[in-house]
Structure 1
Amino acid sequence: MGSVVLIIFIVILLAKPVGLYLAQTFNTERTRLDRVFLPAENILFRLGGVRAINQTWKRYAASLLLTNVFMIALVYLVFRLQGILPLNPAGIKGMDASLAFNTAISFMTNTNLQHYSGETGLSYLAQMAGVLFMMFAAPATALSGVMAFIRLLAGKGAGNFFVDFIRSITRVLLPLAFITGLIFVALGVPQTLSPSVTVQTVDGGSQEIARGPVGSFLSIKELGNNGGGFFGVNSAHPFENPGSFSNMLQILLMFLLPTAIPFAYGRMIGNEKQGRLLFVSMMMMFVVMLSLSMVAESHGNPALNALGINGASMEGKEVRFGPGESILYAMVTTASETGAVNTMHDTLTPLSGMLALSNMLLNAVFGGVGAGFLNVIMYVLIAVFLSGLMIGRTPEFLGKKIEAREMKLIAVTMLIQPLLILGASAIALYVHAGTDAISNQGFHGLTQVMYEFTSSAANNGSGFEGLGDATPFWNISTGIVMFIGRYFGVITMLAVAASLAKKRLAPESIGTFRTDSPLFGTIFVGTIMIVGALTFFPVLVLGPVAEYLTL
C-alpha cells in the first residue's frame, strides 16, 4: 500500500512542471527551448519541405489524417513483407492480410491492440521500423492535435501540424524515451539485436528464450501511452518488467503526459486555476475508482470466501508485485489509455474488471496523451451547457457563448463511442464469427466482447485475453472501430474549438458562471458519471455486475 501512495504522490509532484514545459514547447512565440532544439528541427523542416505557416483548422485536420493514413499504409507493407526483409533472425513469415491491417491501424491509433504474440509475430525490423516508429508517431499526432485545440480556444490559431508533430518528437518524446530507456536497460531489460538463445533447463530439456531491443521499445511504449508489449505477456514478462523499480517507472511514465496536459492547458489559455481544477477533479475520480478496485480485489472471490478460503485474489497476478501494484497498474493503464498490463485483466474480480472497463468507457479520467483531454473538454462543455440551462442563461466557456453549432458537434462526438462499442458488440454477439471466439459463456463472455471493443474504441489496447480474437472477423472489426474511434473525435473537437475561436469575447459579469470554481468541478465530475451511467449502465449490469451477483 505504501508503494501505491508513493507513486501517486510522485505523479502529483511531476504533473505541473511537465505541464508547464509542454506549454512552453507548443507556444507560438519564441522561447529559450529554441536555442537547443531549433537547429536540428530546421534541418528536418527543410528535408520535409515544411513551412511554419499557420494552418486553418480544416487544413490542420486534413494534414493530421492524411499523414496518419500514409504511415498506416507504409507500415502495413512492412508487416506483410517482413518474411523477405532483413533483421529477421527467427525467420518469421509475413503477416496475414487481416492481421497486418489490424496491427498497422492499432499502433498508428495509439491503441496497440495485439492479436499476435509479441516475440513470435514480428521480426526485429518490423518491431523497430514498424511498431517502434509508430509508437513515436501516434502520441506525437495526439499531442499535436490537443495543442492545436488548446491554441484555438486561446485565440492563437491552430498552428501547423507538421511543426507540432516534429516538436512533439524532438522536444518531448525522444529525450524522455532515450533517458528512461537507458534506465530500463540498467534495471535489467534486454537491448540487443541478437537472436533468441537456447538454454538447458534443470530437468535436462532445452528452452528458447526470446530477447531483442526491448529497452528502447519499453520506454516509448509507456511514455507515449502505447502499451503494446515486445513480449506476448507484456509487462508481466520478467524481461519487460524485471522488478518493483521498473514497475514503478512504467506506471509513472504512463501517467506523466496525461496528468501534465491540464496544467499546460491552464497556462496556454491564461487560466491556470481552471487547469488545476480539472487535474484535481480527475485525480479524485481516479483515486476513488482505484480505492474501490483495491477493496474488491483484496476481498477475493466471494464464492471462495463462502467456502472459508479468504484472502486477496492472486489469480493472474505476478507474485513479484502482489495485488496492490497489480491493481494500480491495471487502473493506471486503463485510465491513461495505455493498454500495457502486468496482470491478466481477464482474471480480475468482476468489480475490479468493471472499474477498469469504466475507465475506458468514460475515457475522461485523464485519458490517453492528447486525445483523452479532448474528451475531458467535451464533458466540460456539456457541464457548462447544462449549467446554463439550469440558471436560464446562455452558457459561456472562456468568454465565448456555446450555441447550437457547438452542441451539435459535441453531441455527435459524445455518441460515436457508444455507437462503436455497443453496435460492434451486438454484431459480434449475433454472428458465429464473433461468438466462436468467446472462451467463457454467460456474463463473463459478454464482458470479454464488450471489453475488446471498448479497448479498441478508447484506443487503449488492453484485453481480457480469454477471447480468441486472432481471426479475420475480429481483426477487421476492431481495426475499423480503432480508426473511427481515434480520428472522428479529434476532428470534431477541432471544429468545436475553431467555431468558438470565431466568436467575440463576452465581457464577464455578475451572472457569468465561473468554470474554475469548486462548484463547477463538482458539476463536471457529476456530468461524467451521469452521462457515462446513462450510456453504459445497462450493459455493465448484464456483464460484470451480473457475474458478481452470481458468484
Structure 2
Amino acid sequence: MLQLILTIIIYLIIVIPVGVYLYHVAAGKRTLADPVFNRIDGAIYKISGINPNQGMNWKKYALCLLGTNAIMILIGYIILRIQSIGLFNPNGIGAMEETLSFNTIISFMTNTNLQHYSGESGLSYLSQMLVITFMMFVSASTGYAACIAFIRGLAGKTKDNVGNFFVDLVRVTTRVLLPFSIVGGLLLVWQGVPQNLTGNLVVDTIEGTKQAIAMGPVAALEIIKHLGTNGGGFIGANSTTPIENPTIISDLIELYSMMLLPGACVITFGKMVRDRKKAMAESSEVKVDLRKSLTARIYGREGRSIFLAMGIIFLIGLSLCFWSESQGNPALADAGLSQSMGSMEGKEVRFGIAQSAMFTTTTTSFTTGTVNNMHDTLTPLGGMVPLLHMMLNVVFGGKGVGLMNMIMYAILAVFICGLMIGRTPEYLGKKIEGREMKLTALCIIIHPFLILAFSALAVGTAAGQEGITNPGFHGLSQVLYEYASSAANNGSGFEGLADNTYFWNITAGLAMFFGRYLSIVIQLAIAGSLMKKRFVNESAGTLHTDTFSFAVILVFVVYIFAALTFFPALALGPIAEHLTLWA
C-alpha cells in the first residue's frame, strides 16, 4: 500500500508543472523555449504551406484531421506490404499479410496499437520506425490537437474558431512529444533499454541451447508509446520483458510517462475555462464567480471537479485490482500451495503485486495498452478492473480522450439534475438543449454499442468462435476485452485469443476506426454548437459544476450508465468466473 500511495503522490507533484506547460502550449502563451521552437515550427509551416494565423470552424478542423489521418493510413499500409525489401531489414522479415496490415495500420493511426503480431518477428526496422514509431507521434498529437480544439470550443472565446488543426498538430509534436521523448528515451537507455540498428543477438544459454535476443531502436519506441498513451511494443511480450522494461526505475519512467499528459489535459481545461471567465468578468458581459482556492489556482475550478471524479474512479479500480491480486488463487491454496505473495502468475517478480496492479489499472485507465504483466492471468476481479475501465473510457484516458468523454458525462449529469429540479440545464455558462443532448447521447452510446455488438458477432459466428481458446466464462471475458480494448483505442489484450485471422483482424480494425473517429467528430460538433450560444448569468438555481458534490454526482452517473450497459456481460464473464472460482 505504501508503494501505491507514494507512486500517486509523486504523480500529483509532477503532473502540475506539466499541466501548466501544456496549458501555455495550447493557449499560445509564452514559454521559455519559444526562441527555439518558434524557429522549428516556422520552418515546418513554410515547407508545408501552413498559415498559422488562419483559424478553422469545427467542421473544417474535423475534415483536416480526417484527411490527414487518411493519407498517413494509406502510406503506412503500403510500407507494411513492402517491408520485405532489404532496407533496414537485417532479420529478413517478410511482407505483412493484407488483413493484418489493415488491422495494424488502423490500430496505430487510431492510437490503439493493438498487435495481432509479435513486433520482433513481424516487423522490419523500417516498419518499426516509419510506421510504428512515426504513427505513435502523429496519432497522439492528433488526439491532443482534437482535445485542445474541443476545450477551445467549450471555453467559447469566439463563435466559430476552434484553432488550426495543422498548427495544433505541429505544436504538440515539437513542443511536447519530441522534447519529452528525447529526455525519457535517454533515461530508458540509461536503465539498459537497447537503442541500435543491429540484428538480433544469438547467444548460448546455460541449458546449452540457442536463444535470440531482440535488438533495434527499442528505447525510442518505448518512450513515445507511453508518453503518447499508444501502447503496443517492440517485442510481443511488451513491457513485461527486461528488454523493454529492465528495472523498477524504468517501470516508473514508463508509468509516469503514460500518466502525465492525460492528467495535464484536465489542468489545461480548467485553466482555459478560467481564462474565459476572467475575460467575461473584466468585460462585465455576465456575472461570474471567481472565488479562489489553492486547488482552483492549480487545476481551475472546473478542472478540479473533473480531475477529482476521474481520480475517485481510478482509486476504486486500483484498490479492487490490488486487493483481488493479493488474495491469490483459492484453487492453489486448496492444493496446499502457499498464496502468501498473492497471485504471482503472469507477473514479474521485480515488480510484484503492487506495481503490477498499479501498471494494470493505469494502462487501461489512461488508455495506453502497454503491460508489465499478462492480463490474461489476472484473477477474475483483478481482470475485470482493466476491462471495466476500458468500457468506461473516462478515467483520464489517453491523448485527451478521457477528458472529452468525461465532459459528455458532465453534460448528461447536468441534464439529469436539471430534470430533477425542473430547470433548463447549463454547463460552463451555456444552456444545454436538444441538439447537444442528442449528440451527447449518441457519443456515449457508440462506445458500448461497438463493444457489445462485435462481441455478440464473435460468439455467434463460427469464424469468431474459432479464435476463442478458453471455454466458459473466461473465454467470454477475452472476447469482451478484445473489443473493449479496440473501441477504447487501448490496445492491451488478454492474449488468449487466436486473433490473427480474417475475422478478428477486420472486426477489431472496424471497432478501432469507428471508436476513434466517430467520437471525435461528434465531440467537436458539440463544442461547435456550444461556442455559438450566448452566455447566461448564474442564479440561485444554477447547478455549480466545480464542486466536490458535482464530482460525486459525476462518478455515480458514470457507474450507473456502466451498470445499465455492461453489467449483464460482466456478470456472464469475470463475475461468474470469480463466483465459480471461490465457490
TM-score range, shorter chain: over 0.9
Shift of 1:302: 2.7
CA distance in 1, matches of 2:405, 2:185: 30
Match of 2:307 in 1: 279
Residue 26 of structure 1 aligns to a residue whose secondary structure is helix
Residue 282 of structure 1 aligns to a residue whose secondary structure is helix
Match of 1:248 in 2: 252
Residue 199 of structure 1 aligns to a residue whose secondary structure is strand
> Which residues of 2 match residues 411-430 of structure 1 at below 5 A?
411-430=441-460
Structure 1, residues 317-350: CA drift from partner, whole Å, max 9, x if none?
1111111111111110000000000111000000
Match of 2:211 in 1: 207
The amino acid that maps onto 2:532 is K
CA distance in 2, matches of 1:6, 1:369: 25
The amino acid that maps onto 1:17 is P
> Which residues of 2 match residues 67-466 of structure 1 at below 5 A?
67-156=68-157, 157-270=161-274, 272-309=300-337, 310-311=339-340, 312-466=342-496
Structure 1, residues 38-69: CA drift from partner, whole Å, max 9, x if none?
11101000111111200010000000011111
Shift of 1:308: 4.6
> Which residues of 2 match residues 52-71 of structure 1 at below 5 A?
52=52, 53-71=54-72
Residue 211 of structure 2 aligns to a residue whose secondary structure is strand
The amino acid that maps onto 1:74 is I
Shift of 1:118: 1.1
Match of 2:11 in 1: 11
CA distance in 2, matches of 1:448, 1:288: 23
CA distance in 2, matches of 1:346, 1:208: 25
Match of 1:526 in 2: 556
CA distance in 1, matches of 2:87, 2:454: 38
Runs of 5+ in structure 1 lacking a partner?
none
For the 8 Å contact 2:394–2:401, the answer to whether it is kept is: no
Shift of 1:35: 2.7
Match of 2:513 among 457, 475, 483: 483
For the 8 Å contact 1:266–1:274, the answer to whether it is kept is: yes
Match of 1:46 in 2: 46
The amino acid that maps onto 1:529 is Y
Residue 202 of structure 2 aligns to a residue whose secondary structure is strand
The amino acid that maps onto 1:516 is D
TM-score by length of 2: 0.93
Runs of 5+ in structure 2 lacking a partner?
278-299
Shift of 1:305: 3.3
CA distance in 1, matches of 2:375, 2:220: 25
For the 8 Å contact 2:273–2:302, the answer to whether it is kept is: no
CA distance in 2, matches of 1:32, 1:491: 34
Structure 1, residues 91-132: CA drift from partner, whole Å, max 9, x if none?
100000000000001011110000001100000010001100
CA distance in 2, matches of 1:29, 1:254: 25
For the 8 Å contact 1:139–1:370, the answer to whether it is kept is: no
Shift of 1:433: 1.1
Shift of 1:2: 2.9
Residue 467 of structure 1 aligns to a residue whose secondary structure is coil
TM-score by length of 1: 0.98
For the 8 Å contact 1:82–1:125, the answer to whether it is kept is: yes
The amino acid that maps onto 1:49 is G
CA distance in 1, matches of 2:426, 2:524: 18
Match of 1:37 in 2: 37
Residue 180 of structure 2 aligns to a residue whose secondary structure is helix
The amino acid that maps onto 2:467 is A
For the 8 Å contact 2:436–2:526, the answer to whether it is kept is: yes
Shift of 1:29: 5.4
For the 8 Å contact 1:28–1:159, the answer to whether it is kept is: no
For the 8 Å contact 1:189–1:215, the answer to whether it is kept is: yes
For the 8 Å contact 2:147–2:404, the answer to whether it is kept is: yes
CA 1:513–1:437: 2 relative to 1, 3 Å: same
CA distance in 2, matches of 1:30, 1:242: 38
Size of the aligned set, in residue pairs, is 551
Moved more, 190-199 or 309-318: 309-318
Shift of 1:206: 2.0
CA distance in 1, matches of 2:116, 2:8: 32
